[in-house]
Amino acid sequence: MLLAIDIGNSYIKCAVFEQNTLLNKFIFKQDEAQKNFKKILKKYEKVSNGVISSVANLDENTISYLKKNINLLEISNKTPFPFSNNYKTKETLGIDRLVLSAGAVLSFKNQNRLIIDAGTCITYDYVDSNNVYQGGAISPGLSLRYNSLNTYTAKLPLLENKEIDFLIGKSTSESIYSGVINGVINEIDGFITQYKELNKDLTIILTGGDAVFLAKSLKNTIFANSNFLLESLNNLYTYCNNKND
C-alpha cells in the first residue's frame, strides 16, 4: 500500500492507495499533521511506501516521522517526469503543477491536455500531445478573491462560497458572489476557448478543492476529478519506480 501526500497552501490532503485503487482520503491542517499521519499508519498497517509533494513547508519533525515509518519519495524539480519541460524558469515551476502534468500524461496518453487546478490559486497547465510541457497561467482562486475584497476595502464583507443562480446582484453580498463566482467561471471558460483555438483536439482536466463546485457551471466539456493530484502522485510513484528498475 502507498500513502500519497499533497501539502497544499491551505490543507494537507492524502490518500491510501492499493495499486491504482484509492481506499481512503484524508484532509487536515498542518498543525494536525503528525497526529493524523500516526492514525492513518496505525489503521493501514500495510502502508510501507509513501510519496509527497509540497507547495508549503511541512515541519521537519513530521517529515522525520514519515521517513522513519515508510519509504518516502519526495517529489522535487529533479524527479524524473514523463514529459519534457519547455518552461523558461524550470526551478520556479510549482511541484503541484509538475505532478498534475505528469498525471495527465500518464492517464491521457497521446493527447493535448489542459489541466486546471481550482484551489487557493487557479493554475492552468498545458502539455501537448508530444508530451512537452509548454506552460500555463496562475490566477487567484475563489477564497483568495473573497479575502482580498474584504482585506483591501473598508466596508466589503468577507463571504464564504455558496451556489448562486443569478448574474445581477441585488445587494452588496449578491454583487460580490456574482463578481467572484461568475468571474471565475467566465475566466475558466475563456481560457478553455482560447486553448481550443490553439488546438481543437484538447482534453480538459479540472481538479482542486473547488472543482466539483465549478464543474456544473462551465460551458465546456471537461473531465472533473477533485482527487486527480493524489491519483497523479500514485501514478508518478509507479513511473519513478519503473524508471529505477
Q: How far is CA 14 from the centre of its chain?
A: 12
> pLDDT tens digits for 138-179?
999 999 999 999 999 999 999 999 999 999 999 999 999 999
Instruction: Look at residue 36 in the predicted model and tell me its pLDDT.
Output: 92
User: Whole domain around residue 8: which residue ranges?
Assistant: 2-74
54 part of a folded domain: yes
User: Is the separation of the CB atoms in 62 and 85 below 8 Å?
Assistant: no
DSSP 130-188: TSEEEEEEEEE-HHHHHHHHHHTSSSPPP--------SS-SSHHHHHHIIIIIHHHHHH
Q: Is 128 a catalytic residue?
A: no
Residue 242 lies in a domain: no
Q: How far is CA 84 from the centre of its chain?
A: 20
Is residue 38 domain-shared with residue 115, that is, in the same domain? no
Asked whether residue 147 falls in the same domain as residue 46, the answer is no
Same domain, 57 and 112: no
Residues 38 and 124 occupy one common structural domain: no
- Residue numbers in the chain where pLDDT is lower than 70: 244-245
**Residue 11's pLDDT is what?**
86
How many distinct structural domains can be found in the chain?
2
- Nearest alpha-carbon partner for 17 in 44, 38, 42: 44
- Burial of 188 from C-beta contacts in 10 A (0-12 / 13-18 / 19+): buried
Looking at every residue in the chain, the average pLDDT score rounds to 93
Residues 206-226 as b/e (b if ≥16 CB within 10 A, e otherwise) read bbbbbbebbbebbeeebbbbb
Of the residues 42, 74, 106, which one is the last residue of a structural domain? 74
Closest to 164 measured CA to CA, from 183, 178, 150: 178
Q: Which of 21, 49, 74 is the last residue of a domain?
A: 74
245 in any annotated domain: no
Alpha-helical (H) ranges within the chain are: 33-43, 60-69, 95-107, 142-151, 172-177, 183-198, 211-215, 228-244
The rounded distance, in Å, linking the Cα atoms of 21 and 8 is: 22
**Whether residues 52 and 119 fall in one domain:** no
Q: What is the pLDDT of residue 168?
A: 97
Q: Are residues 66 and 88 in the same domain?
A: no
H or E element in which residue 72 lies: strand 71-74
Please tell me the distance from the alpha carbon of residue 217 to that of residue 194, in angstroms, as a whole number: 18
Judge whether 171 lies within some domain: yes
Same domain for 152 and 190? yes
pTM over 0.75: yes
pLDDT exceeding 90 applies to what percent of the chain?
80
CA angle 220, 221, 223 (to 5 degrees): 125
Q: Are residues 13 and 122 in the same domain?
A: no
Q: What is the pLDDT of residue 245?
A: 63
Catalytic residue among 96, 117, 125, 210: 96
